[in-house]
Structure 1
Amino acid sequence: MSPLQVAVGVVKNSLGEVLISLRHDKLHQGGLWEFPGGKVEAEETVGQALARELKEELDITVQAAMPLITINHQYPDLAVQLCVFTVESYSGTVKSCEGQPFLWVNPDDLVNYAFPVANRPIIAAVRLPPYYAILDDADPTLLLVNLDGILENGIKLIQARLKTLSADAVKSFLEQAYPLCKTYKASLLLNSSVKQAEGCEVNGLHLTSVDLLACRQRPDGKQWVGASCHNREELRHAEKIGVDFVVLAPVLATPTHPDAEILGWDHFAELTAQINLPVYALGGLTQSDLLVAREAGAQGIAGIRAFLG
Structure 2
Amino acid sequence: MIEVAAAIIYDETGKILIARRREGKSQGGLWEFPGGKLEAGESVQDCLIRELQEEMGIEIRPYAAFGVNEHSYGSVHLTLIAWKAKYVNGTITLTDHDEYRWVQPGELGVYTFAAADIPFVERLMRND
Same fold (TM over 0.5): yes
Counterpart of 2:20 in structure 1 is 22
Match of 2:89 in 1: 92
Task: Tell me how far 1:115 sits from its aligned partner.
Answer: 0.8
Query: Where does residue 13 of structure 1 map in the other structure?
Result: 11
Matches within 5 A, 1:44-83: 44-83=42-81
Q: What is the identity, as a one-letter code, of the residue corresponding to 2:17?
A: L
Q: Counterparts of 1:112-131 in structure 2 under 5 Å?
A: 112-130=110-128
Distance 1:79 1:48 in 2: 22
Alignment of 1:144-163 (within 5 A): none
* Secondary structure of the corresponding residue to residue 100 of structure 1: strand
Q: Residues 152-301 of structure 1: matches in 2 within 5 Å? A: none
CA distance in 2, matches of 1:93, 1:51: 12
1:254 paired residue number:
none
CA distance in structure 2 between the partners assigned to 1:118 and 1:63 by the alignment? 23
Matches of 2:20 and 2:56, distance apart in 1 = 13
Higher relative contact order (CA 8 A, sep 6+): 2
> 1:94 deviation in Å?
3.9
Report sequence identity in percent.
31
User: Deviation at 1:60?
Assistant: 2.3
Q: Could you list the runs of 5+ residues in structure 1 that have no partner in the other structure?
A: 131-309
Q: Is the 1:7–1:82 Cα contact (8 Å) retained in structure 2?
A: yes
Q: Which has the higher strand share?
A: 2
Q: CA deviation at 1:96?
A: 2.1
RMSD (CA atoms): 1.6
| Higher Rg of the two aligned structures | 1
Q: Deviations over 1:277-306 (max 9, x none)?
A: xxxxxxxxxxxxxxxxxxxxxxxxxxxxxx
Equivalent AA in structure 2 for residue 38 of structure 1: G
Q: Whole-Å Cα distance in 2 between the matches of residues 26 and 6 of structure 1? A: 19
TM-score computed with the length of structure 2 as normaliser = 0.89
Residue 41 of structure 1 aligns with an amino acid whose one-letter code is E
How many positions carry a matched residue from both structures?
127
Secondary structure of the structure 2 residue equivalent to 1:27? coil
> For residues 170-222 of structure 1, what are the alpha-carbon distances to aligned partners after superposition, in whole Å with 9 as ceiling and x for unaligned?
xxxxxxxxxxxxxxxxxxxxxxxxxxxxxxxxxxxxxxxxxxxxxxxxxxxxx
What secondary structure sits across from 2:81 in the alignment? strand
AA matched with 2:89: G
Check whether the contact 2:9–2:60 (CA below 8 A) recurs between aligned residues. Answer: no
Q: Secondary structure at the match of 2:98?
A: coil
For the residue of structure 2 that corresponds to 1:101, the secondary structure is: strand
Is the contact made by 1:96 and 1:102 (CA closer than 8 Å) also made in structure 2?
Answer: no
Out of 38, 41, 48, the position equivalent to 1:40 is 38
